[in-house]
Amino acid sequence: MKFLSVLAFSALAFATSNIRKGTLSIIKGPFSDKGIPISVIDGRLVANQGTTYFEHDQKLQTLKHMDSGTYLNINGQGKFLFLNEPLQGFRLVSKGLINPVLQLDFQGTDVFELCANNVLGYDSSCATVGDTRHVRIKFTHTPEE
């Protein structure tokens, strides 16, 4: 009987751990001492000083914008945008040994593009090649209250 209780509790814990809520930011690099927050502006993923909350579904591999209820997608030009239909393939991968962080990964790629206008993309092309910076995106879990 005790075994069944433990099994039921474990199943419940596993089921509820598929969803994580949190924020996104660009991971600090050699020219920046802190990460840049990422928010949603006009349906696009933008690096700026705002804070936006997201919900990651580990099982479905989707990322949902909490305010609008829409999901992160990629358009034909490789830019991130939010639509009603989810796009699968977004994972959170733990990176680093000393201070591990959860990095956003899309279908095995964890390097994204930041254009000069601060819009983020995946395999996109900015107006000119010099306008693109390659960045990594960190997910910071927000514990439930």
Within a domain: residue 10?
A: no
Asked if the structure places residue 24 within a domain, the reply is yes
Among 45, 51, 41, which Cα is nearest to 72's? 45
Is residue 12 situated within a structural domain? no
- Cα distance between residue 6 and residue 43, in whole Å: 43
Query: Residue 1: pLDDT above 80?
Result: no
* More confident position, 20 or 30: 20
Q: Is residue 13 part of a domain?
A: no
- Residue 145 pLDDT exceeds 70: no
Per-residue pLDDT reduced to its tens digit, 45-79: 999 878 899 999 999 999 999 999 999 999 888 88
- pLDDT beyond 60 at 83: yes
Q: How many domains does the chain have?
A: 1
CATH number for the domain that contains residue 84: 2.80.10.50
Q: How far apart are CA 126 and CA 44, in angstroms?
A: 14
Residue 56 or residue 97, greater confidence = 56
Asked if residue 3 is part of any domain, the answer here is: no
Residue 53 lies in a domain: yes
- Domain residues for 126? 20-141
Predicted local distance difference test score (pLDDT) of residue 20? 95
CA 99 to chain centre: 18
Residue 107 lies in a domain: yes
pTM of the entire predicted model? 0.80
